Amino acid sequence: MESSETPTSQPTSQEASSAQSEIEKNVRRKTDIAWGHCKQIPETNILVCNYCGKKFGGGGIHRVKEHLAWIPGNVESCKKVPAEIRFQMKENFDERSKKKRKASAVAEIDSAIAEEDEQVQTNPTLPTTSKKGKNVGRIGTYFLPRTTPGAQPTLKSVIQSKEAVEKCDLAIAKWFIDASIPFNAANSPYFQPAADALCSVGAGYKVPTMHAFRGNLLN
């Protein structure tokens, strides 16, 4: 009598999912622009620079890009790469680094929000001052009618005051992320006075330009 538990050669759903993830990872990896400027030794993970012949046994395509872009710290710079290729690699490297920093900052905000939500659930009497970071990208329609010069607060705007504070917090967070301002800058003793000064001026105030900061404002 044959056993009903005969082994099968069909891969499990977990194995299939793992294999598919590996394929997708390899596809994404091959899309990096640095692949057009190196070659891979068959049956190995070793990459070779097309210009100087340097071999890379570790670090992958990211290390090759550092080599071509003259990014110091991890690898020797390529002395034979054309200037326009080096510039292209550097621009791409900086762009990807900026995206990673922003992603890290957003993750930090989400973590702080999650921690606050947990505290509020534990103690419902605590006030809330923020919502999920997914709303950060829609700043601009969040502010109340009283922010328009000459407008008076309505009953609706009074009811929405808590939401307005939340939207304002997200607007500030977006500025911190875009300008790569470290979050510990919020601990500066000048931060709250600056916010108070902005509120006292009212709607229509134009923030100083970079030229103004470099000029008479700080002299």
pLDDT above 70: percentage of residues in the chain: 63
Phi and psi at 47, nearest 5°, equal -110, 150
What distance in Å separates the CA atoms of residue 179 and residue 181, rounded to the nearest whole number?
A: 5
Question: Which range, of 125-134, 148-157, 190-199, averages the lowest pLDDT?
Answer: 125-134
User: How confident is residue 11, by pLDDT bands cut at 50, 70 and 90?
Assistant: low
User: Of the ranges 90-94, 146-150, 154-158, 162-166, which is most confident?
Assistant: 90-94
Is residue 98's pLDDT more than 90?
no
80, β-bridge pairs: none
Q: Looking at the predicted structure, is the pLDDT value of residue 150 above 80?
A: no
